[in-house]
């Protein structure tokens, strides 16, 4: 390659500028300031950093999404344990069943606040068909009969066993039982269920059978009604009676 010398003594060889040196012939000068390093112009270092940051961000988002799905699945599993026969339900059906259950519980709470649970002095038996709240909430079958029965009578040790026996004879299953006892009297409220699809005729017959069975249970008086009063009077009497003596 030919060497060209400028007027001021500089030599230009290719893209580099050299200056004549007494010892080695030429002196290599630094590159001009307007030219960038080779590794910056090729784009091989900084893009690798961007790829690493992007991969780290995606991994963080993926882990956060995994934890969110695990929390949602845990809550859904809790709801499935609360609602029977819900193992094969999809998420939308399960949430709809839970909403119906919450509404039914709210309605029952309002109804319970309006009804007095204090046992009455007279024997009372009531049997009525349920409006289907438990049917919509706890069962997937449409052929179940739900009946609400209440009994108010004297409290005695074998009362509950007699009620269970009466329900078993009628092939009834007690879903819920509320009991209140006060002053030797007890009030029992049962929600009964029976699997049957015979229609309203069977429902009316079943209600009559339940009422007759509860009437028989309530009519059994093991202890007279005035026994508790006489016992209370004996407890209130003084242990050592005083006698009036005339001096």
Task: Give the per-residue pLDDT at 122.
Answer: 83
Q: What is the dihedral of CA 158, 163, 168, 173, to 10 degrees?
A: -130
C-alpha dihedral sign at 111, 114, 117, 121:
negative
The model carries a pTM of 0.43
Helix (H) or strand (E) run with residue 84 in it: none
Angle (deg, nearest 10), helices 91-114 and 46-82? 40
Q: How far apart are CA 98 and CA 92, in angstroms?
A: 10
Q: How far apart are CA 195 and CA 87, in angstroms?
A: 21
**Closest CA relative to residue 187, chosen from 111, 233, 119:** 119
Task: Give the per-residue pLDDT at 134.
Answer: 43
Q: How far apart are CA 110 and CA 225, in angstroms?
A: 34
Task: Give the per-residue pLDDT at 63.
Answer: 92
Answer left, alpha or beta for residue 74, where phi above 0 means left and psi between -120 and 50 means alpha. Answer: alpha
Task: Give the per-residue pLDDT at 68.
Answer: 93
Answer left, alpha or beta for residue 116, where phi above 0 means left and psi between -120 and 50 means alpha. Answer: beta
Task: Give the per-residue pLDDT at 201.
Answer: 54
In tens digits, what is the pLDDT along the chain, a chain of 247 residues? 455 545 444 444 444 545 455 555 555 555 555 555 554 444 455 566 688 888 888 889 999 999 999 999 999 888 888 887 888 888 888 898 899 989 988 888 887 776 667 788 888 888 887 765 444 444 444 567 788 888 888 888 888 888 888 888 888 888 888 888 888 888 888 888 887 655 555 677 778 888 888 888 888 754 444 444 444 444 444 444 444 444 3
Task: Give the per-residue pLDDT at 71.
Answer: 93
Task: Give the per-residue pLDDT at 233.
Answer: 46
């Amino acid at each position: 390659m030919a060497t060209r010398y400028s007027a001021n003594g500089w030599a230009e060889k290719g893209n580099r500028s050299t200056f004549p040196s007494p010892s080695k012939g030429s002196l290599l000068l630094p590159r001009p300031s307007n030219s960038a390093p080779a590794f910056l112009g090729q784009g091989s270092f900084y893009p690798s950093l961007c790829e690493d940051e992007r991969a780290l961000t995606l991994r963080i988002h993926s882990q956060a999404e995994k934890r969110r799905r695990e929390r949602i699945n845990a809550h859904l599993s809790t709801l499935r344990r609360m609602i029977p026969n819900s193992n094969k339900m999809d998420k939308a059906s399960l949430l709809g069943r839970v909403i119906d259950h919450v509404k039914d519980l709210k309605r029952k709470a309002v109804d319970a606040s309006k009804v007095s649970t204090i046992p009455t002095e007279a024997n009372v038996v009531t049997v009525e068909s349920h409006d289907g709240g438990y049917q919509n909430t706890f069962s997937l079958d449409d052929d179940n009969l739900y009946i609400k029965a209440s009994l108010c009578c004297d409290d005695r040790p074998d009362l509950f066993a007699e009620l269970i026996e009466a329900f078993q004879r009628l092939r009834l299953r007690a879903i819920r039982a509320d009991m209140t006892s006060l002053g030797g009297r007890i009030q029992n409220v049962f929600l009964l269920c029976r699997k049957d699809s015979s229609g309203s005729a069977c429902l009316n017959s079943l209600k009559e059978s339940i009422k007759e069975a509860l009437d028989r249970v309530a009519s059994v008086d093991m202890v007279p009604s005035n026994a508790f009063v006489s016992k209370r009077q004996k407890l209130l009497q003084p242990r050592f009676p005083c006698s009036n003596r005339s001096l």
